[in-house]
Amino acid sequence: MRTTLLVRALFAAALLAFAAGRAVAVGSDAGAISLTFIPSARGEAMGGLVVTEANDYGARWSNPGGLAFIDKEVVGTMFSKLVPGLADDVYYMYGGWVHPTRSIGTLQVDITYLSYGESQAVSEDQQDLGSFSSYELSPSASVGFRFLPNLGVGLTVKYVRIDLAPADLLQDQGGSGSGTGSSWAFDFGGLYRTDRLRVGAAVTNLGPDITFIDAEQSDPLPRALRVGGMYDFYRNEAAEIRGGLEIEQSMVRWSRDPVYHLGAEFVYAGTFALRTGYLNDAEGSVKGWAGGFGFSWNRATFEYANVPQADTLDRPHRFALWLRL
């Protein structure tokens, strides 16, 4: 039965890795895939270009250095089914709260939850032993501050837990592991801003390998380096037009081809935004256009993104809602 349980849980994990090949350049090279999903619907709509646009509820994920330039409290959430039409109980949820202070910079706390869905436990003689859920959970805390007037730097510390299968079901069959694993990690980032130009860089998920199932199996965290730039080509009281490029490189396997994120945004009167982008992950076989929109009213913003995945999977939808407090 131990093998049956793990096959089911690992199948869900492999399916997510396949679906998320577009999310980060480390894809199937690493574990803890929940750390690779972009929580910003705005960034997703621009082809995954996020490292220069760290200015909302997901700022620390985009670039912890961007927290330094947020001067108002923000809270927000994002939800997305990851393999629509194939497994409705496989989904991603994120919630973040950003709080500026006068003394130590801007703080952020957030939590990520990734559901692998529900699986059925079946014994070797095909007896039904009930169902179980597999998931990943990752809380984090961040701080960003201005190192120079135009330069923000930031740090994130995070914990990640992966629960593939119940410990009692595995151990009853002589398993050497618990079916769960955990690790700690750090992100570092910097963002340089002028009136129209933003240049950012972030190193993410630096931490020890995560071990689960048994002592012989471990996976590196999805360590990655992202570097990018964004420029405001046109801006007045009525409209804004900007565009940029981001390059993402796996630090798990440096020989892996980088992933390119190209994005653009049009904002009308500060209330309505249209976004598009292109993602090119040649090695992950994920190439395609992304798109979406945003609408702001008073202090609330609703955002939507539709993004590319592997050719055999439906395109997922990202929905986000955030508030300026």
Low-confidence ranges of the chain (pLDDT < 70): 1-29, 120-130, 167-178, 212-217
Label residue 33 left, alpha or beta by phi (over 0 means left) and psi (-120 to 50 means alpha): alpha
CB 196 within 8 A of CB 232: yes
- pLDDT value of residue 5: 47
Tell me the sheet residues that pair with 180.
163
Give the domain extent around 51: 2-324
- pLDDT value of residue 12: 54
Q: 0.85 exceeded by the pTM?
A: yes
Helix (H) or strand (E) segment spanning residue 170: helix 167-171
In 18-127, DSSP assigns E strands to 74-81, 91-100, 106-122
The number of domains in the chain is 1
- pLDDT value of residue 22: 44
Q: What is the pLDDT of residues 267-306, one digit of tens each?
A: 999 999 999 999 999 887 788 999 999 999 999 999 999 9
Q: What is the pLDDT of residues 126-143, one digit of tens each?
A: 666 667 788 999 999 999
Tokens at residue 234, please?
């046109």
CB 82 within 8 A of CB 315: no
Instruction: Return the CATH number at 300.
Output: 2.40.160.40
CA-CA distance, 30 to 307, in Å (whole number)?
Answer: 22
Distances (CA, A) of 117 to 8, 9, 179: 10, 9, 15
- pLDDT value of residue 21: 46
CA-CA distance, 159 to 157, in Å (whole number)?
Answer: 7
- pLDDT value of residue 310: 74
